[in-house]
Amino acid sequence: MKQEKAILAGGCFWCIESAFRNVPGVIEVISGYTGGTKENPTYEEVSTGNTGHYEAVEITYDPSRISYGEILDVFWRQIDPMDAGGQFADRGSQYKTAIFYLDDEQKRVAEASKQKLAEIIEKPVATEIKKAQTFYPAEEYHQGYSEKQPGQYGRYKYASGRSPFIERFWKDKPRTCPIRSKGV
């Protein structure tokens, strides 16, 4: 089976990781850090906003079951793409949104997807498209957090404003990528 990777930053990595956990064609989702200057950063270091890293996820997927465009469509529907200062209750550069492309084709698809989204929402999209850098997995206690601590995670996702925003904002908007995979 062929596998490909996608690296996405959408604010709190717990929420983005959880959104992709049960998507058909997604093989693995790892929370971590990317885009900064410090090697092997810790959560405490990234949380200061001084390392240049984003909280992000690395998604391994089967491209015969889900396309990169479909991955991006799931991603867009988990964030506030207009927010340039972080996501929901999480503020700062480490919580900004970004798509980290791994090759020219991912860059092309990401740019087209962002353009389509801007047309749908009729507002500027703050999410950056950047060349991928080294991805550092986060500490083990962050991995699968929504499954390890479902009550705490659910309360956080709601109280942060993410759940209410997703339900309200994305409710009637069309997708940025035609869906070809069943169940996505």
Query: How confident is the model over 25-61, as pLDDT tens digits?
Result: 999 999 999 999 999 999 999 999 999 999 999 999 9
CATH H superfamily, domain 4-169: Peptide methionine sulphoxide reductase MsrA (3.30.1060.10)
Residue-wise pLDDT tens digits, 95-109 = 999 999 999 999 999
Is the pLDDT confidence value at 180 over 60?
A: no
Helices (H), the chain: 13-20, 43-47, 68-76, 104-121, 145-148, 150-159, 162-169
Which of left, alpha, beta for 136 (phi over 0: left; psi -120 to 50: alpha)?
beta
Q: How confident is the model at residue 181 (pLDDT cuts 50, 70, 90)?
A: very low
Mean pLDDT for the chain overall: 93
Nearest to 61 by CA among 69, 53, 49, 50: 69
Residue-wise pLDDT tens digits, 118-162 = 999 999 999 999 999 999 999 999 999 999 999 999 999 999 999
- CA dist 98 and 81 (Å) reads 9
pTM assigned to the model: 0.93
Catalytic residue among 12, 71, 79, 184: 12
**12 counts as catalytic:** yes
Please answer whether residues 135 and 34 qualify as being in contact, where contact means their C-beta atoms are separated by less than 8 angstroms.
Answer: yes
- For residues 172 and 127, the model is more confident at 127
